[in-house]
């Protein structure tokens, strides 16, 4: 019988792509989501007998206890994601990002694998000149980073867990996010046709959403030799400054005007480059390039059509 995967928050940006990846690989997938953004990203799976959806909250012990029975692996994606969203409602952020993880740890059995997405934003404001490895001290600079780093610590202190420190994700999804840096820059290029960039030399690492889904599947299928460790998940060729990223996009959208502002600052102070060597040694490497993602996003944004708040 195929393994059973539970994905909390599975109707979100990552989850709606990851659900498809696991179903395509022959797994049975249950998604638990409260659909707080009103998304309809999983409708196309309803005819698949290996897919199940449960409307509910990951913090509800009664619901979670019922679902966990018979599950082989848990992927806890449910989270308040990003620094601005967490700052808007800090109590909700701590409850969903940390307390819900503690509840999963309390209710699951030790033979149930957890593969958890944290964030490499925990590396904070490094110089941008040294490579951050999994041994680099974590210095989160936002409530979002703090909750994810603390959840990762508690997971790794328990048994049968893997944590993935995701680079900034890009690419199309049925539940699209325009606030992620690559997605946002490309959207600005094809809509406003201009972008003002502060602190153009600040660097970070990037990874395609489908590489992320492939990595989670790889971890589930190779768990015995990977548990108990964090892994950076990014594309080595995509340790880029904001200037380098914008110029890559301009190569596809020649009339994209980019202004590198000398005055002013970005509230997001992250500045680091990341080594993905540990994951490569474990047998997995991201494959999809920034250019692949730009082409994909340009195609996808043609489908967004006219904004309800604009006449053109």
* More confident position, 56 or 268: 56
The verdict on residue 261 lying in a domain is no
Of the listed ranges 99-103, 135-139, 241-245, 257-261, the least confidently predicted one is: 135-139
Q: How far apart are CA 188 and CA 61, in angstroms?
A: 42
Q: How high is the pLDDT of residue 140? A: 87
C-alpha dist (Å) from residue 8 to 12, 72, 75, 291: 9, 14, 6, 31
Residues 4-28 pLDDT 10s: 999 999 999 999 999 999 999 999 9
In a domain, 11, yes or no: yes
Neighbours of 112 (CB within 10 A): 18
Residue in this structure with the two tokens 């690559």, named with its chain if needed: 182
pTM above 0.85, yes or no: yes
State the total domains in the chain.
Answer: 1
In a domain, 101, yes or no: yes
Is 192 part of any domain? yes
Q: What is the C-alpha separation between 217 and 220, in angstroms, rounded?
A: 5
What confidence tier does 119 reach under pLDDT thresholds 50, 70, 90?
A: confident
**Domain of residue 27, CATH code:** 3.40.50.720
Give domain status of residue 307, yes or no.
no
CA pair distance 214, 69, nearest whole angstrom: 25
Summarize the confidence of residues 149-178 as an average pLDDT: 97
Which residues form the domain of 56? 4-238+267-301
Lowest-confidence segment of 236-250, 257-271, 296-310 by average pLDDT: 257-271
User: What gap in Å lies between CA 202 and CA 285, rounded to an integer?
Assistant: 24
Residue 126 has pLDDT above 60, yes or no: no
208 occurs within a structural domain: yes
CB 74 within 8 A of CB 68: yes
Task: Judge whether 310 lies within some domain.
Answer: no
């Amino acid at each position: 019988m195929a393994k059973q995967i539970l994905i909390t928050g599975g109707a979100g940006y990552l989850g709606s792509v990851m659900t498809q990846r696991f179903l395509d690989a022959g797994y049975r997938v249950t998604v638990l989501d409260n659909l707080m953004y009103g998304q309809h990203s999983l409708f196309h799976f309803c005819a698949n007998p290996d897919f199940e959806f449960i409307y509910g909250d990951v913090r509800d012990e009664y619901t979670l206890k019922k679902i966990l029975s018979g599950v082989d692996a848990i992927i806890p994606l449910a989270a308040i994601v990003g620094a601005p969203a967490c700052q808007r409602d800090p109590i909700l952020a701590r409850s969903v990002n940390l307390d819900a993880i503690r509840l999963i740890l309390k209710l699951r059995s030790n033979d149930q694998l957890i593969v958890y997405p944290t964030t490499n934003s925990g590396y904070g404001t490094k110089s941008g000149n040294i490579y951050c490895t999994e041994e680099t001290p974590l210095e989160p600079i936002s409530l979002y980073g703090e909750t994810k780093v603390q959840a990762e610590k508690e997971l790794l202190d328990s048994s049968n867990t893997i944590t993935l420190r995701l680079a900034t994700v890009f690419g199309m999804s049925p539940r699209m996010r325009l606030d992620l840096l690559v997605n946002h820059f490309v959207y600005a290029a094809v809509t406003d046709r201009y972008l003002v960039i502060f602190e153009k030399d600040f660097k970070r690492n990037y990874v395609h959403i489908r590489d992320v889904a492939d990595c989670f599947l790889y971890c589930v299928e190779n768990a015995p030799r990977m548990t108990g460790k964090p892994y950076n998940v990014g594309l080595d060729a995509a340790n880029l400054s904001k200037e380098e990223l914008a110029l890559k996009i301009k190569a596809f959208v020649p009339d994209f005007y980019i202004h590198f502002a000398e005055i002013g600052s970005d509230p997001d102070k992250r500045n680091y480059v990341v080594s993905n060597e540990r994951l490569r040694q474990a047998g997995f490497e991201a494959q999809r390039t920034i250019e692949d993602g730009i082409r994909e996003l340009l195609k996808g944004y043609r489908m967004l059509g006219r904004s309800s708040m604009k006449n053109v």
